[in-house]
Structure 1
Amino acid sequence: MILAPLTRGCNLPYRRLCADFGCKVAFGEMIYARNLLKGDAVEHARLRRAPNEGGLFGVQIATNDVEEAVASLKLIKAAGQIDFVDLNCGCPINEATRRGLGSAMLRNPNRLAELVLGIVEADVGIPLTVKVRLGADNKNNVMRVSKEMRDAGAAALTIHGRTAQQRYSNAANWDEIAKVVAESRDSDMLIVGNGDILTHEDARAKIESTGVDSVMVGRGALEKPWIFQEFETGVRWNPSARDRVAVYRRLAQYNKDHFRDDARGRKMASYFFPWHFEFLCRYHSSKNDIQSRWIDDGDMPPLDTLLACKNTFAHRRIADILWDSVGDEEAVAKLTEFAEGGEFSSLLSAVIGDGGGGGGGGEELSNIPGNDKKVRKRRSMKPKRTEEEIEQIRAERKLKRERLGMTDHEHVNGGRRGGN
């Protein structure tokens, strides 16, 4: 089971946590090859592996130029911490596709094959893998793309069972992945399946039914990092709320180790750590409810209620408490106190209280019953933006500022130039 190259999700502290639970193959966050070659500090930081990542660690690059790709692979190899490099040909967000990167490359399989062949023939000394989708648009051309990748010499091909146009809607089409496996049976190129792997049972079932060499997990690992342990042992772990607090506090410690336990480090970690609770809060012990965003247990203890909360303000508070707690018992006590206190009650009642009044900045919460034990219905609201859409909006705004010749300082200060 492979941890997917998730933007924001595959930061070093979280990979370290997954490694604790037996993750043996992991990716860092995607790197733009051009920015890496320009010396971008953020991109270079993504070349670091966690201290306990003793298995295989790879990085994923976005590029459509042979010279740029080869130069970046040489730099990555020189870093001395990377076992393989993956070429991103599956990212569907506009920030990548408008540059001719990511899934846009699937529109021209011949050009993609030339790129992969050029990288392989450069013989940098580090294996090249490729990640794709079924196609760029609704047109499915994965069979042709897979043949081109085999002929070009890719070491492995990861296939997400949706087209780029589908993004993350509809179920992943594993039948198409199985066809590629059958076609590639006599090839040395490994086939990895990706899409809708939310439990270790899902992973085993897909491996057995399609014959893929491995599966890649994204959202399933974000919801429960112990999925790797379950996959290895074949035994489902149903951690109590106290168990989960211990796991989450360990993640807080790993963030402190990586970013440092000071004001600057805490600010840097705040981009990642609270965000993880958007997924961790979705955990539910029932196999059938693992994807559910709404909890209907009428008698949930306060701590369980808090950990199931979908509100981002609550996530920040949870993150702060875990960061400041010295041990697991202190974390449990402080989180329970917050869960039983007026601040959290007000937060709940503002969104899911009697009458379903608004509040909490419009953020979504679990459908937790009130004191009358009646299950509240989901409020009608606009679909929540995905992380990819949010990143796309940020990137487009930044590009607009750059076109206007506006620095970040000028943007923060209302576009004013010059002195005070």
Structure 2
Amino acid sequence: MSEMAFTKPLLKGDRVERARLYKAPGEQMFGFQVACKTISDGIAASKLAKEGGAQFLDINCGCPIYEATRRGMGSAMLRKPRALAKMVAGIAADSELPVTVKIRLGENDKKIVVDTVVDYLHRAGAAAVTVHGRTAEQRYKKAADWAKVGEVARSTAMPIIGNGDILTHYEAHARRVESGCTAVMAGRGALIKPWIFQEYKEGREWLPTTDERVGVYRLLVSYMKEHFGDDERGRKKAWYFFPWHFDFLNRYRPLPEAVYGAASREHPLIMTRMDLTDARVGEAGPEGLGWAERLLRCEHPDAHEAIAAALWDAGSDADAVTALERIGREGVEAWEEAVRAGGRGGDAARGGGLGVGGPAGAEGEGREGGGRGGRGGRGSRNDDAELERG
């Protein structure tokens, strides 16, 4: 989130010349992120990305999930900075697109290699580097170290994109300014609030009503139907992804800067445990919420299945709201009780403490995987789910 100017490396002998690719004010840039460990795979991905309309290729060398690291990809590549740089140099030399790289601080607290890796990647011809302010071992259990991200940004001529714990436009702006990064990246925050980019672009918060959020979610439905098909086969394919999205979307809470701005500077909001409602924003407890709103905030996987089905089947936004009101009235209290009984409060590994249970301001304990049991094949693919989140 910024006005970016990427550089495309052109290798000539031992010298790297850089032809600039600019993002004009107000213009959107589309990039394609991949995980790979060989030059040939990276070049092949770059060609596909270009054919798909991408303007840059991003290589994810920061993902800490076993499903990636066991294949020698993601954050496993930080163990051998020279080999990583050699791969990036080979891809950048033959790629028609600028190549950017996403990394973490290192493998663990005893192996912080980010400065070395950034230096190598700069010399390898990377156009920019995204630095996630945690080690691979930390996953999402602790707040991102933006002080270290800032140190990296100020110590190199390489464009640095800061990443970690961005949920609101005011957090994004503060992190970019304070760190000195060229830009910032929102990951899990964008899954909770897909409109965070519009907020940042316009410099103002949007606190959507229940009906407005349903409209956003049904827009996602329309994209899925267009891509997978509006039939039973298309629905089956979409269901691998669609209910899962509500494991993030249910964490949305209105977070006006006037109320939460100061707290966000003390502890990232995405890592802060919050109750179902907050009197500071005019919410008078669960009973004061509409049934649809209460349902949309429910953490139970069965609620997510029901929400997804209602949105998919509805003929209009109004029909969807009506269906969600009915489902909430009939089932949300039982689902909420099941969540409380099962300890399904928010935690850091799930992307922060936003959720039911636990006092506001308390940091989540963190746990491995996504806890998505009871959803067919997806319940056993927690690493895959977190790979998508990272």
TM-score by length of 2: 0.75
Please give the alpha-carbon distance, in whole angstroms, between the structure 1 residues aligned to 2:178 and 2:4: 23
- Give the aligned partner of residue 309 of structure 1: 298
- Partner of residue 324, structure 2: 335
1:312–1:363 contact (8 Å) kept in structure 2: no
**1:128 maps to which residue?**
99
Percent identity (aligned): 44
Q: Which of 1 and 2 has higher RCO (CA within 8 Å, sep 6+)?
A: 2
Amino acid at match of 2:136: A
Counterpart AA for 2:62: G
Contact 2:299 2:336 survives alignment (8 Å)? no
CA contact (8 A) 1:282 1:292 kept: no
The equivalent residue for 2:28 is: 55
Where does the alignment leave 5 or more consecutive residues of structure 2 unmatched?
6-26, 261-268, 278-283, 347-354, 360-364, 373-378, 386-390
* Cα distance, 1:323–1:213 mapped onto 2, change above 3 Å: same
Distance 2:211 2:382 in 1: 37
Pairwise mapping of residues 64-143 of structure 1 onto structure 2 (< 5 A)? 64-77=37-50, 79-122=51-94, 124-138=95-109, 139-143=111-115
Residue 251 of structure 1 and its aligned partner are, at CA, apart by 1.8
SS at match of 1:278: helix
State whether structure 2 residue 257 is matched by structure 1 residue 285: no
CA distance 1:315–1:101, shift in 2 (3 Å):
same
Q: Deviations over 1:242-290 (max 9, x none)?
A: 2212222222222212211100001111111111111111111134466
Tell me what 2:193 maps to.
224
For 1:190 and 1:160, how far apart are their aligned partners in 2? 14
Matches within 5 A, 1:254-293: 254-287=223-256, 288=260, 291-292=272-273
CA distance in 1 between counterparts of 2:106 and 2:212 reads 41
**Cα offset, 1:232, TM superposition:** 1.3
Contact 1:93 1:392 in 2 (8 A): no
**Take 2:134 and 2:216, find their aligned partners in 1: how far apart are those partners?**
32
Instruction: Decide which of 386, 399, 404 is 2:370's aligned counterpart.
Output: 386
1:34-93 CA-partner distances (Å, limit 9, x unpaired): xxxxxxxxxxxxxxxxxxxx832222222222233334434443x252211112211111
Q: 2:153: which partner in 1?
A: 181
2:209 and 2:336 map into 1 onto residues whose CA distance is: 22
2:335 is aligned to: 347
Where 2:71 maps in the other structure, the secondary structure is: coil
Structure 1 pair 390–135 and aligned structure 2 pair: CA distance change class (3 A)? farther
Question: Counterparts of 1:344 and 1:311 in 2: how far apart (Å)?
Answer: 9
2:30 counterpart SS class: strand
Could you tell me which amino acid in structure 2 is paired with residue 250 of structure 1?
Answer: L
* Separation in 2, partners of 1:209, 1:115: 32
Q: Distance in 2 between matches of 1:231 and 1:89?
A: 26
SS at match of 1:56: coil
Q: Does residue 147 of the first structure (1) align with residue 119 of the second (2)?
A: yes
RMSD: 3.1
Q: Distance in 2 between matches of 1:302 and 1:346?
A: 13
Deviation string, structure 1 residues 144-192 (Cα, Å, up to 9, x no partner) = 11111111111010000001111111111111111111111xx3x3210
Query: CA contact under 8 A between 1:90 and 1:132: conserved in structure 2?
Result: yes
CA distance in 2: counterparts of 1:267 and 1:115, whole angstroms: 38
Kindly tell me: are residues 280 and 382 of structure 1, through their superposed partners in 2, closer, same or farther at Cα, counting changes over 3 Å? closer
The 1:70–1:387 alpha-carbon spacing in structure 2 relative to 1, beyond 3 Å, is: farther
* 2:207 is equivalent to residue 238 of structure 1: yes
CA contact (8 A) 1:90 1:102 kept: yes
Q: 2:265 matched to which residue of 1? A: none
What residue in structure 2 maps to residue 294 of structure 1?
A: 275
Match of 1:322 in 2: 311
Matches within 5 A, 1:9-28: none
Q: Which amino acid aligns with 1:56?
A: M
1:159 counterpart SS class: strand
TM-score of the pair, normalised by structure 1: 0.70
Give the Cα separation in 2 of the matches to 1:207 and 1:275: 30
* Pair 1:274–1:146, CA change in 2 (3 A): same
Following superposition, the deviation at residue 292 of structure 1 comes to: 3.8
1:192 alignment partner, one of 161, 169, 186: 161
Greater Rg over alpha carbons, structure:
1
* Alignment size in residue pairs: 325
Deviation at residue 351 of structure 1 after TM alignment: 4.7
Aligned residue number for residue 376 of structure 2: none
Q: Which runs of 5 or more residues in structure 1 are unaligned? A: 3-22, 26-53, 369-374, 376-380, 396-420
CA separation in 2, counterparts of 1:236 and 1:347?
31
